[in-house]
Amino acid sequence: MPASASKIENAETIVTELLSELKVIQKNSVSIEQKKEQFLNLVYGFFDTILISKASTGPYWRTATDDEKIRYTDLFCQLIANITSSQIGDISDFEFTITSSIPKGEEMVLVLGELNAPGNSFEEISIRWRISTPNMDTAKIIDIEFENISMLVTQKQENIAIIRKNGGAFSALIEAMEKQLNQ
């Protein structure tokens, strides 16, 4: 199988596997805290958290200390898990249909499709998954776009705004995230 076809297959597989696991979590009757923990495990398992952390902080990643980088990555993953948990609610009957998959350069694949969730406030939503495929065996999610709105771009702009308002201090971003998580 040609390299690009193999990468496309890996990219599509990781998307369908993530959504299958999400459905399983949704169907289990567990507490909200347990759900959040399960979502967190999914984030660590399916997403390239280091690349996402780097991308979402722009030039300020280089100014952060090693401890700040680790702390930020942890907090960011928790935020994703919490947001997913609150947005997805009790929905378990959703279906994602892949419409196309496009290689973007050597190390990335875009997987496009439609998410259907009957009974939800949205009926159908188009989603683009950006998958990092650095080699033939590895595929990790690095971004999700809902109706052209990229999670990573919006997060980066928020992060940079907070850091800039606080004189370039990366620690201010960490404080803001801790405050958000404790709400």
Partner 1 sequence: MKIDFFNKCKPFIVPALFICLVFTGCTSTNQEQITDKRDPFESTNRKIYAFNDKVDTAILEPVAAGYNKIVPKFGKEAISQHINWVGLPNTAINSGLQGKWENLALSSLHFSVNALTFGFANLLPEEEPPSKQDLGKTFAVYGVSEGPYVVLPLLGSRTSRHAFAQIVNMMLNPYAIFEDETIRQANLMQPVLSTVSWRAANFDLINSVKYNSLDSYIKARSAYYQSRFGQLQSIEAGPSEADDLFEGLYKEG
Contact residues for partner 1, defined by CB under 8 A:
51, 54-55, 79, 82-83, 86-87, 89, 104-105, 107-108, 118-122, 130, 142-143, 145-150, 152-154, 156-162, 164-165, 173, 176-177, 180
Minimum distance from CB of 161 to partner 1 (Å)? 4
Residue placing its CB nearer to partner 1 in the complex, 46 or 129? 129
Q: Specify the DSSP element, H or E, that contains 146.
A: strand 140-146
Minimum distance from CB of 108 to partner 1 (Å)? 7
Contact between 74 and 168 under an 8 Å Cβ cutoff? The reply is no
Dist. CA 177–CA 159, nearest whole Å: 9
Residue placing its CB nearer to partner 1 in the complex, 98 or 152? 152
Dist. CA 143–CA 140, nearest whole Å: 9
Radius of gyration of the chain from its Cα atoms, rounded to whole angstroms: 17
Minimum distance from CB of 106 to partner 1 (Å)? 9
Minimum distance from CB of 71 to partner 1 (Å)? 15
| Backbone dihedral angles phi then psi of residue 149, each to the nearest 5 degrees | -100, 115
Q: How long, in residues, is the chain?
A: 183
Residue placing its CB nearer to partner 1 in the complex, 27 or 165? 165
Place of tokens 């009790």: 90
Residue placing its CB nearer to partner 1 in the complex, 2 or 105? 105
